[in-house]
C-alpha cells in the first residue's frame, strides 16, 4: 500500500488525548479524548477511564459536548469533571460504582478548576461573580436587552479569548458534594485562582494580585486562607509571578513555581519552597539554568495541562516537567534542592500524573511523528509502555516526516539549535523548496513534538526548517533574554544563519525556492524578514505584529509587553518602537506576502495585519489579507475546526502558487 503524507483535512480524523489523572490507589487512570464532529464541525471531548487490573478502557461521558478536568476524589470513589452540556462549563460528579453524573453547579458564569478536599466531601472551584455582588445574588436581566454604552476606566479592559471585559471577577467557592451548599471564600474586584488544600483540610492555597494598583503592579502572589476564620495570609513577597502552590503531604512545605521578574517576561520560572513552620521562603533552583514547566510551541493538542509540582508521599520530593533543548522531560526534585532526570529523550511530555506512593506514572507523550498517546512509566525503574493507540488506524495509511536535529553557528559564533524535516516522499535525486518556520512568544520553544502544519507541508513536497533563535526558552537565562531590546537584530541573524546552514549543507535543497512563515512573534519576524531581504520567494505572516507604536495601545498586553520586550514606550522612545517596527521597512518588501489573522485577536489585533497590508497594496505589491471571523489569537491552535483547516490550506496553497 502506498502511503500518503499528512493531509490538512486529516485534522478532522486525528484525535487528541490529554490530562491523564491517576486514581489515588493507582488502579485507574482517567483522561480526556478530543475529536471533531465532521457533521457539525465542532470539537467533542469525552472522558475515558482505563482499569489497569483488567486492561480495559471505558468511555464515561458521551454526547457532542466538551467534558474536561477529570479529578478523582481522595477516597477514589468519585470523579469530578467539567461539562458544557448545558451551555457554560458546570461542575459534575460521577461515582465509580456507576450511575448518572450528578450536576453540582448551575452558575451564570459557570465553574472552573475543581479541587477536592482531603476528606472527599467538598470541592473547591472558581467562578466569575459581578463586582459588588455575591454568589447567591441573582442579577435580573431585562426581558429585552437594550443597547447601552459600555464604560471602561481600567487599562485592562479587554483580553484575547474573552473580548471586552465585563465587570466580573474570578472568585473562590467551596461546594458540599452531598448537600450542594456553597460558601464563597473571596470577594472584591480582583481575580483569584484556586490551587490546593492543606492536608488537614482547614486551609486552601490560591493565587492572585491584591494590589490596589494591580493593572500596573504586575505580580501574582500566593495566599493561604483559613476556611473557618476566613483570615488570609500572603506568603510571597509581591516581587514577581508565583503560582501552583501545593502542600507537601505532611504539611511542612508549600511548593511554588515562579520568578521575581528579574528579566521581566523573559525570566526563567524556578522552584520555591515555603516552610509552614518558620515561614521561610527560599528558591531551590536559583543556580539551575533551566525553565521549569512546559513552554513548547505546538498546534495540535487542545486542553493540555501542565501538572506543576507533584509531591511524593514521603514529603521529601516531587516530580515536574522542564523545557530543555527542544525537549520536555520529567525531573525529580528533593526538598534539599537536588534535581534528577527521571525521563529524558527526544520527545514532548505534555501530561503527567503520578502515584505518590509507588512512583508509577502515566505520561502523555508526543514526537514529531506521533501526535500523542498515553504511556505508563515507572519513575524508579524506567520501564515505559504505551497505553493508548488513539490514532493508529489513520497513521497506518500516512507517511510522516521525521525531524532531524541540527546545530550551527550564528553570525557571532553562538550555537543555534533546530530541526530539518524532509518531504514525506523524499527522493535524494530531486531538489526541494525550503520553508523556514518561526515560533511565537518569542519566549517559547520549538520542541520534538507533532506539528500539524509542518506535516501537511512536508506532504506537499516542502522541506521544513524550524529553529530556536535567541529569545527562545530551553537554552538558559542568557539565551532567552537575548532578543530583548533587539527584536530584528541577532534573532534575525540566527534565522538567516539557519537558512545559510541548510542550503549549504543539504544538496537536495533548491536555494532559489525559499519561503518563510510564522505566527505572533513569528509573524513579526516574517514581516521583518521580507523588509530586510528578498531571498524568499513567498511569505505567510500569521497573527502578526507590524507596528509597535500602535501595538502599545491596541493589544491586551501592549503597554507592558512593549516596554518589557522592545525596552521602549510611546512617550520617551517612540523612535525606538518605530525602528523595530516592520512597517517602517514596508517599502523594501518584494516578497509576495499572505497575511492571516483572526478578527477577534486581541493579543495581536488584526489592525497590525491591516496596516502592513495597506502599506504594501498602496505600493501595488503582491499581498493578500485573509481574516477569520470570530477567531482569536488561537485561530491555528484551538480555533473552530473549519477555519483552522482553512488556515492551514491557505498557507499550503500560497506556497504552491509561488514555489
Active-site residue identified among 50, 65, 67, 633: 633
Three cell numbers at 501? 546552514
Active-site residue identified among 366, 520, 555, 638: 520
Three cell numbers at 67? 467534558
According to DSSP, the residues that pair with 255 across neighbouring strands are: 246, 273
Residues 568, 562 contacting (CB under 8 angstroms): yes
What are the distances in angstroms from CA 558 to CA 156, 185, 441, 537?
10, 33, 14, 32
State how beta strands 339-343 and 327-334 pair. antiparallel
580 is catalytic: no
State how beta strands 102-103 and 90-95 pair. antiparallel
265-277 CB burial, b ≥16 within 10 A, e <16: bbbbbbbbbbebe
DSSP H or E run through 310: strand 310-311
Phi, psi of 298 (to 5 degrees): -155, 170
117 is catalytic: no
What are the distances in angstroms from CA 566 to CA 34, 165, 241?
38, 27, 20
Instruction: Say which residue the cell 539554568 belongs to.
Output: 289
DSSP-derived 3-state class of residue 582: helix
Burial degree of 178 (CB within 10 A; 0-12, 13-18, 19+): exposed
**Count of Cβ atoms closer than 10 Å to residue 494 Cβ:** 25
Catalogue the active-site residues: 520, 633
Amino acid at each position: 500500500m502506498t502511503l500518503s503524507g499528512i493531509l490538512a483535512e486529516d485534522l478532522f480524523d486525528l484525535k487528541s488525548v490529554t490530562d491523564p489523572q491517576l486514581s489515588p490507589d493507582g488502579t485507574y487512570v482517567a483522561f480526556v479524548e478530543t475529536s471533531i464532529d465532521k457533521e457539525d464541525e465542532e470539537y467533542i471531548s469525552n472522558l475515558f477511564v482505563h482499569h489497569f487490573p483488567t486492561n480495559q478502557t471505558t468511555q464515561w461521558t458521551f454526547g457532542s459536548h466538551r467534558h474536561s478536568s477529570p479529578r478523582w476524589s481522595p477516597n477514589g470513589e468519585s470523579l469530578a469533571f467539567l461539562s458544557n452540556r448545558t451551555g457554560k462549563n458546570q461542575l459534575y460528579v460521577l461515582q465509580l460504582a456507576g450511575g448518572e453524573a450528578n450536576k453540582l453547579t448551575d452558575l451564570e458564569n459557570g465553574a472552573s478548576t475543581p479541587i477536592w478536599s482531603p476528606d472527599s466531601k467538598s470541592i473547591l472551584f472558581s467562578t466569575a461573580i459581578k463586582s459588588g455582588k455575591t454568589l447567591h445574588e441573582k442579577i435580573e436581566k431585562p426581558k429585552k436587552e437594550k443597547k447601552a454604552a459600555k464604560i471602561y476606566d481600567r487599562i485592562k479592559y479587554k483580553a484575547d479569548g474573552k473580548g471586552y471585559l465585563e465587570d466580573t471577577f474570578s472568585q473562590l467557592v467551596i461546594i458540599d458534594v452531598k448537600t450542594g451548599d456553597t460558601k464563597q471564600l473571596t470577594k472584591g474586584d480582583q481575580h483569584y485562582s484556586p490551587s490546593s488544600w492543606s492536608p488537614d483540610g482547614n486551609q486552601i492555597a490560591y493565587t492572585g494580585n491584591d494590589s490596589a494598583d494591580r493593572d500596573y503592579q504586575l505580580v501574582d502572589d500566593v495566599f493561604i486562607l483559613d476556611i473557618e476564620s476566613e483570615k488570609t495570609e500572603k506568603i510571597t513577597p509581591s516581587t514577581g509571578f508565583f503560582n501552583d502552590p501545593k502542600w507537601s503531604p505532611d504539611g511542612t512545605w508549600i511548593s511554588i513555581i515562579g520568578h521575581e521578574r528579574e528579566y521581566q517576561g523573559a525570566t526563567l520560572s524556578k522552584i520555591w519552597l515555603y516552610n509552614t513552620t518558620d515561614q521561610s521562603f527560599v528558591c531551590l533552583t536559583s543556580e539551575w539554568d533551566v525553565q521549569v514547566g512546559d513552554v513548547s510551541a505546538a498546534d495540535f493538542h487542545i486542553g493540555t495541562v501542565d501538572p506543576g509540582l507533584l509531591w511524593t508521599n514521603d514529603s521529601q520530593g516531587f516530580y515536574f516537567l522542564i523545557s530543555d533543548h527542544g525537549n520536555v522531560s520529567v525531573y525529580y526534585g528533593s526538598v534539599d534542592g537536588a534535581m534528577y532526570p527521571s525521563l529524558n529523550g527526544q520527545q514532548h511530555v505534555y501530561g503527567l500524573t503520578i502515584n505518590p506512593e509507588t512512583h508509577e506514572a502515566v505520561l502523555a507523550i508526543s514526537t514529531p511523528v506521533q501526535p500523542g498517546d498515553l504511556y505508563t512509566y515507572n519513575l524508579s525503574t524506567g520501564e515505559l509502555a504505551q497505553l493508548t493507540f488513539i490514532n493508529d488506524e489513520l497513521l497506518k495509511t500516512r507517511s510522516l516526516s521525521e525531524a532531524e536535529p541540527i546545530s550551527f553557528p550564528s553570525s557571532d559564533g553562538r550555537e543555534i539549535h533546530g530541526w530539518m524535516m524532509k518531504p514525506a516522499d523524499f527522493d535524494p535525486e530531486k531538489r526541494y523548496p525550503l520553508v523556514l518556520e518561526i515560533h511565537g512568544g518569542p519566549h517559547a520553544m520549538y520542541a520534538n513534538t507533532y506539528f500539524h502544519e509542518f506535516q501537511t507541508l512536508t506532504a506537499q513536497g516542502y522541506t521544513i526548517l524550524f529553529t530556536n533563535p535567541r529569545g527562545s526558552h530551553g537554552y538558559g537565562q542568557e539565551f532567552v533574554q537575548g532578543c530583548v531590546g533587539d527584536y530584528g537584530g541577532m534573532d534575525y541573524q540566527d534565522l538567516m544563519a539557519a537558512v545559510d546552514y541548510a542550503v549549504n549543507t543539504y544538496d537536495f535543497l533548491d536555494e532559489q525556492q525559499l519561503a518563510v512563515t510564522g505566527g505572533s512573534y513569528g509573524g513579526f519576524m516574517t514581516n521583518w524578514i521580507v523588509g530586510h531581504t528578498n531571498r524568499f520567494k513567498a511569505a505567510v505572516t500569521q497573527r502578526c505584529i507590524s507596528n509597535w507604536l500602535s501595538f502599545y495601545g491596541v493589544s491586551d498586553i501592549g503597554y507592558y509587553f512593549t516596554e518589557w520586550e522592545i525596552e521602549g514606550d510611546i512617550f520617551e522612545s517612540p523612535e525606538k518602537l518605530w525602528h523595530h517596527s516592520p512597517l517602517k521597512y514596508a517599502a523594501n518588501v518584494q516578497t509576495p506576502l499572505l497575511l492571516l489573522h483572526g478578527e477577534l485577536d486581541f493579543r495581536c489585533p488584526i489592525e497590525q495585519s491591516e496596516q502592513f497590508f495597506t502599506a504594501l497594496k498602496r505600493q501595488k505589491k503582491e499581498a493578500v489579507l485573509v481574516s477569520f471571523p470570530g477567531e482569536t489569537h488561537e485561530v491555528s491552535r484551538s480555533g473552530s475546526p473549519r477555519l483552522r483547516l482553512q488556515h492551514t490550506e491557505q498557507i499550503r496553497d500560497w506556497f504552491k502558487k509561488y514555489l
